[in-house]
Amino acid sequence: MRTRYSSDLTDAQWQAIEPLFRDQYFRKHDARSMLNALFYVNKTGCQWRMLPQGEAGFPPSPTVYYHFRKWMRTGLLERINDILRRIVRVKNKRAASPTVAIIDSQSVKTSHVGGPRSFDGGKKVNGRKRHIVVDTLGLLLAVLVHPAGLSDSAQAPHLLKRLVGKVPALRVIFADEGYAGVPFSLVARCFGWVWQLVHKAEGQRGFAVLPKRWIVERTFAWFGGYRRLSKDYEYLPAVSEAMVQLSAIRMMIRRIA
What confidence score (pLDDT) does residue 208 get? 59
Q: Within this chain, do residues 207 and 153 fall inside the same structural domain, yes or no?
A: yes
Span 56-69, pLDDT tens digits:
689 999 999 999 99
Q: 220 and 101 in one domain?
A: yes
Residue 256 lies in a domain: no
Assess if residue 241 is contained within a domain: no
DSSP string, 3-63: PP-TTSPPHHHHHHHGGGGTT---SSS-HHHHHHHHHHHHHH---GGGS--GGGS-S-HHH
Assigned domain for 252 exists = no
Q: How many CB atoms lie within 10 A of CB 83?
A: 15
The CATH code of the domain that includes 184 is 3.30.420
Question: Looking at the domain assignment, is residue 254 inside a domain?
Answer: no
Q: Whole-angstrom Cα distance, residue 25 to residue 84?
A: 22
Q: What is the dihedral of CA 247, 67, 237, 168, to 10 degrees?
A: -60
Same domain membership, residue 213 and residue 143: yes
| Residues 122 and 201 reside in one and the same domain | yes
> Does residue 63 sit in the same domain as residue 146?
no
**Residue 167's pLDDT is what?**
95
Verify that 124 and 158 share a domain, yes or no: yes
> Model pTM?
0.93
The answer on 144 and 64 residing in a single domain is: no
Average pLDDT over residues 219-244: 97
The reply to whether 134 and 189 lie within a common domain is yes
pLDDT value of residue 205: 65
Average pLDDT over every residue of 150-172: 94
Domain presence at residue 224: yes
| Average pLDDT of the chain, as a whole number | 92
13-50 pLDDT per residue, tens: 999 999 988 888 787 888 999 999 999 999 999 999 99
Whether residue 257 is contained in a domain is answered as no
CB 132 within 8 A of CB 221: no
201 pLDDT more than 70 = no
User: Residues 95-140: pLDDT tens digits?
Assistant: 999 999 999 999 999 999 989 999 999 889 999 999 999 999 999 9
> Residue 1's pLDDT band (boundaries 50, 70, 90)?
low
Strands 172-175 and 140-147: unpaired
Of the two residues 163 and 211, the one the predictor is more confident about is: 163
Is 237 within the bounds of a domain? no
What are the strands, taking DSSP E only, across 115-189? Answer: 118-120, 125-135, 140-147, 172-175
Pairwise CA distance, residues 251 & 237, whole Å: 22
pLDDT for residue 159 is more than 60: yes
Number of domains in the chain: 2
- For the stretch 76-91, pLDDT in tens is 999 999 999 999 999 9
- Which residue range forms the structural domain that includes residue 150? 96-232
pLDDT confidence of residue 87? 96
Within-domain flag for 244 = no
